[in-house]
């Protein structure tokens, strides 16, 4: 295991660059931090380029218990605390991060699943991460996202996915409305949430639906509402008029689960 002590080292400079989307896109790599996420990455056979460990964390009980000899199978580098502080994006870091190569998965849409989830300019990293995690929990293998949606490899998104990022394919598309129209030709209907309807999500059969979740501030764009086959409301008894994007996604996806198992 090599040791790096200089902030001028090429690897350290690259990791710092990977905090920005343009460099993640350029290098086709991203960073995951923490014992749980790295353990998930190993279990899901993610392409781990290198593991960086803070010197004082190398023999910690947490790292030894959950990763132990696993990390010895990968290229590892240890760094002192002052260098690790430059590369971490976590306030109370566990002292370990990994550089992971983005998979070269074909961005083809899988039409074998009952439902397809699409995101229309979702901006909050926590929302996107939670949506990816929820999609994984109901067995979805893909999410279609507009180019205006936050980067799925943002560190906050990755932490929020709790490992689901390694199991759910994120398909970015240039023109979401055009893509949705193409999916409709495969025997799917577009469903959007809207206050401008009396039909509840509990009134609609969710099989063969494209469920579109809109931007946190503006909802689903008018262009997509205009091509939607179904508009549905999530019933609420309180005074709140709308739900957080990730919460709304969870409500709808678990209604889909209920319909499948009843």
- State the Cα–Cα distance between residues 216 and 256, nearest whole angstrom: 22
Q: Are residues 18 and 75 in the same domain?
A: yes
Residue 139 lies in a domain: yes
Both 166 and 250 in one domain: the answer is: yes
Do residues 77 and 201 share a domain? Answer: no
Q: For residues 18 and 162, what is the distance between their CA atoms, to the nearest angstrom?
A: 20
Q: Please check whether residues 131 and 187 belong to one and the same domain.
A: yes
| Structural domain total, the chain | 2
User: Which stretches of the chain score pLDDT less than 70?
Assistant: 104-106
Residue 104: per-residue pLDDT: 65
Q: Which of 79, 101, 123 is the last residue of a domain?
A: 101
pLDDT in tens, 146-202: 999 999 999 999 999 999 999 999 999 999 999 999 999 999 999 998 888 889 999
pLDDT at 221: 94
Q: Which residues pair with 142 in a beta bridge?
A: 169
Same domain, 176 and 216: yes
95 lies in the same domain as 131: no
Give Cα 163 to chain centroid, integer Å.
9
Residues 126 and 200 in one domain: yes
Q: What is the DSSP string of the chain?
A: -EE---TTSHHHHHHHHTTSHHHHHHHTEEEEESHHHHHHHHHTT-EEEEEEEEGGGTT-HHHHHHTGGGGGGS-EEEE-HHHHHHH---TT--SEEEEEEPP----PPP-SSSEEEEESS---HHHHHHHHHHHHHTT--EEEEETTSPPTTSHHHHHHHTTGGGTSEEEEES-HHHHHHHHHTTT-EEEEE-SS-S-BGGGS--TTEEEEE-BTTTBS-HHHHHH-SEEEB----SS-----HHHHHHHHHHHHHHHHH-
pLDDT for position 213: 96
Specify the pLDDT at position 194: 84
* pTM (2 d.p.): 0.91
Q: Decide if 107 is inside a domain.
A: no
Residue 138 lies in a domain: yes
Residues 193 and 229 both lie in one domain: yes
CATH number at residue 95: 3.30.1330.30
Predicted pLDDT of residue 113: 92
Of 101, 125, 141, which one is at a domain's C-terminal end? 101
For residue 28, the enclosing domain spans 2-101
Cα within 13 Å of Cα(114), Cβ side: 12
User: Is there a single domain that holds both residue 164 and residue 188?
Assistant: yes
**What CATH code is carried by the domain that includes residue 224?**
3.40.1280.10
Same-domain check for residues 192 and 158:
yes
Statement to judge: residues 86 and 161 lie in one domain: no
Q: What pLDDT score was predicted for residue 105?
A: 61
């Amino acid at each position: 295991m090599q040791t790096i002590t200089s902030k001028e080292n090429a690897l350290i400079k690259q990791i710092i660059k990977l905090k920005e989307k343009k460099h993640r896109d350029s290098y086709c790599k991203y960073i995951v931090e923490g014992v749980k996420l790295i353990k998930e990455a190993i279990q899901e056979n993610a392409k781990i380029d290198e593991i960086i460990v803070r010197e004082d964390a190398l023999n910690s009980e947490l790292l030894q218990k959950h990763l132990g000899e696993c990390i010895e199978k990968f290229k590892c580098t240890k760094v002192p605390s002052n260098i690790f502080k430059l590369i971490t994006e976590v306030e109370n870091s566990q002292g370990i991060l990994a550089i992971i190569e983005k998979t070269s998965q074909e961005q083809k849409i899988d039409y074998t699943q009952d439902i397809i989830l699409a995101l229309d300019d979702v901006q909050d990293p926590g929302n996107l991460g939670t949506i990816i995690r929820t999609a994984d929990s109901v067995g979805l293998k893909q999410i279609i996202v507009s180019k205006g949606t936050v980067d799925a490899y943002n560190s906050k998104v990755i932490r929020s996915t709790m490992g689901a990022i390694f199991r759910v394919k994120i398909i970015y598309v240039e023109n979401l409305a055009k893509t949705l129209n193409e999916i409709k030709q495969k025997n799917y209907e577009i469903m959007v949430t809207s206050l401008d309807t009396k039909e509840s999500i509990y009134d609609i059969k969710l099989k063969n639906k494209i469920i579109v979740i809109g931007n946190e501030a503006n909802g689903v764009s008018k262009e997509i509402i205009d091509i939607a086959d179904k508009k549905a409301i999530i019933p609420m008894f309180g005074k709140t008029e709308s739900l957080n994007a990730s919460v709304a996604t969870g409500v709808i996806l678990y209604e889909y689960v209920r319909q499948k198992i009843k």
